[in-house]
Amino acid sequence: MTPNDTAAGFVALPSADALTIEEANQTTRSSVTRVIIPVGLAGVGKTTLLTEIYGKFLQGPFAGHQYAWSRTLHGFEQRSHHARIASGRATPETPRTPLADRDVFLHLRLAAHDGVAPARDILIADWPGEEFRAMRDDVQTARAHPFLYRADHIAFLVDGERFGTQALRQEAQHETEMLIQSILDAGVDRAVKSVIYTKWDAALRGDGADQLEDFVKRFEEEIRRKHEARTGELQFIWTAARPESGSELCRGKNLDEVLRIWLRSARRPLEASLPPGVQEVREFDRFRSRPPQRVD
C-alpha cells in the first residue's frame, strides 16, 4: 500500500507474517500470553514441529483445544507450503529458517474444546539454529535476548535421527548438553521445562537403534542429575512430527502432549524476568531512559 492509498482512506491491514520482537511485545501487553521458545541447532526440526502443530488445527480440534485466531497465518502458511502436495515436491520438506528471522514469533489463539476456559494466546519462537549455536558458544549471546527471560516454557529439541546413528550420537549429545548449560548459565533456570526428541521415526531406523533405549536412558539421567536442582522436574517427550513414508509412527506423534505442556506453563512475573546486570535492549527503552538533552 502506498502513501497515496493511505491518504485516500484505505486501511493498512496486518501482514500476517511472523511477528517481530516489537510486535510480539504488543501481543503480550494486550493479552495474557504464553511465550514458548523451542531451542535447537540447525536441522533439528523446530519449524517442522511448529507447522505440524498448526496443521493439526486445520483438521479440527487438537490436544483439547480448537483454533480461535492467529496474527501470523501467512507466516504459518509460508512455512507449511513445501510439505504439501500443492508445492509440487515429491517429498514433504520444511524450508530452513533464514538468518534474517533471528527474533520472530508465530502466534496462535486457542480455545478450550469444552468451551469453558477462556481462549489462550501463545507466542512460539521460530529462531534459526545458527542463532542457538552462537548462544551455545557464548553465553553473552543468550543474555542479549530479552525474550528468553519472558519465556514461560523453554524446550530443548534433540535430533532423534542423530541419536539413532552410532557415528553421530555422541556428538549430538555433547552439543545438546553444551547448549543446555549455556542457556541455564544465562539465568533462565525455571523456564526450562522439557526436552523434546524430534524425528523419532528416523531414530528407530538408524544403525544404532538397538542401543537407542539405553543411550537415551543414560542421557536423561545425566541431564536430570546435572540440572534438575536448578530447573525443577524436566519432561522428556519423543515426537515424530512428519515421519517418512512407511514408518509405523503416525504423523504428528506426541505433538498433542507437547502442546498440552506448553499450555500448562505458568507465566513468569515480568518484574522478575531479567536477571541482575541484564539490560532491556529495545531502542525505545534506551531512548526513554536517556536524560533530557540541553539545547543551547
Q: Using one digit for the tens of pLDDT, what is the confidence trace for 104-160?
A: 999 999 999 888 888 999 999 999 999 999 999 999 999 999 899 999 999 999 999
Fold assignment, 19-272:
Rossmann fold (3.40.50)
In 3D space, the residue among 115, 105, 113, 95 whose CA is nearest the CA of residue 48 turns out to be 95
Picking from 13-17, 35-39, 193-197, 278-282, which range would have the lowest pLDDT averaged per residue? 278-282
Average pLDDT, the chain: 86
Question: For 45-80, how does the pLDDT look when each residue is reduced to its tens digit (9 = 90+)?
Answer: 999 999 999 999 999 999 999 999 999 999 999 998
Question: Does residue 13 surpass a pLDDT of 70?
Answer: no
Whole-number pLDDT of residue 117: 86
In 3D space, the residue among 235, 152, 139, 125 whose CA is nearest the CA of residue 187 turns out to be 139
CA distances from 17 to 14, 23, 76, 107, 137 (A): 8, 11, 8, 10, 30
Question: Does residue 294 surpass a pLDDT of 50?
Answer: no
At residue 195 the predicted structure's pLDDT band, cuts being 50, 70 and 90, is very high
Q: What distance in Å separates the CA atoms of residue 44 and residue 284, rounded to the nearest whole number?
A: 34
Whole-number pLDDT of residue 15: 83
Contacts of residue 107, Cβ cutoff 8 Å, sequence gap at least 6: 19, 27, 70, 71, 72, 121, 122, 123, 124
Q: What distance in Å separates the CA atoms of residue 39 and residue 241, rounded to the nearest whole number?
A: 16
Picking from 51-60, 147-156, 258-267, 272-281, which range would have the lowest pLDDT averaged per residue? 272-281
In 3D space, the residue among 205, 217, 199, 129 whose CA is nearest the CA of residue 165 turns out to be 205
Question: Does residue 272 surpass a pLDDT of 90?
Answer: no
Question: For 212-253, how does the pLDDT look when each residue is reduced to its tens digit (9 = 90+)?
Answer: 999 999 999 999 999 999 999 999 999 999 999 999 999 999
Domain range list for the chain: 19-272
| 3-class secondary structure, 67 | strand
Whole-number pLDDT of residue 89: 43
Whole-number pLDDT of residue 86: 46
* Mean pLDDT across 175-180: 98
Question: Does residue 194 surpass a pLDDT of 90?
Answer: yes
In 3D space, the residue among 196, 178, 260, 32 whose CA is nearest the CA of residue 170 turns out to be 178
